[in-house]
């Protein structure tokens, strides 16, 4: 049997618990603090430890060190790519901007 591509998501016993859609344009977009640390619902007062991000529509650049990216500086993330960010601080510091003409759409699942 041959390899057909794809990937495995390792959650390290974390529970996928919340989801959001983030539009990434020319202004720095961040992940919602209320999703990282919800104040109500089944994950209230818990802090997300990781997030699965998939990108659609436009390419973006992102940084997780707390500094804002620019259209020409930061990690390049192409439409169709999937990324797992691990660590609460990295989630809080995530910032992204569009890298081309079109806005990007991030679909984010949080793990608690």
Q: Where are the domains of the chain?
A: 16-111
Q: What is the pTM of this model?
A: 0.88
CA–CA separation, 38 and 13 (whole Å) = 19
82-98 pLDDT, tens digit each? 999 999 999 999 999 99
pLDDT tops 90 at residue 43: yes
- Residue 33, token pair as written in the block: 């603090």
45-89 pLDDT, tens digit each? 999 999 999 999 999 999 999 999 998 999 999 999 999 999 999
Give the CATH superfamily of 16-111.
Answer: Jelly Rolls (2.60.120.10)
- Beta strand 104-111 with 50-57 is antiparallel
Q: Partners of 88 in the beta sheet?
A: none
């Amino acid at each position: 049997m041959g390899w057909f591509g794809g990937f495995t998501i390792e959650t390290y016993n974390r529970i996928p618990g919340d989801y959001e859609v983030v539009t990434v344009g020319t202004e720095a977009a961040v992940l919602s603090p209320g999703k990282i640390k919800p104040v109500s619902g089944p994950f209230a007062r818990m802090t997300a430890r990781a997030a699965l991000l998939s990108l659609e529509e436009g390419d973006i650049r992102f940084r997780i060190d707390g500094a804002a990216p620019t259209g020409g500086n930061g990690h390049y993330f192409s439409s169709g790519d999937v990324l797992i960010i691990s660590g609460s601080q990295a989630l809080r510091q995530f910032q992204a901007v569009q890298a081309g003409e079109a806005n990007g759409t991030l679909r984010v699942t949080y793990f608690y």
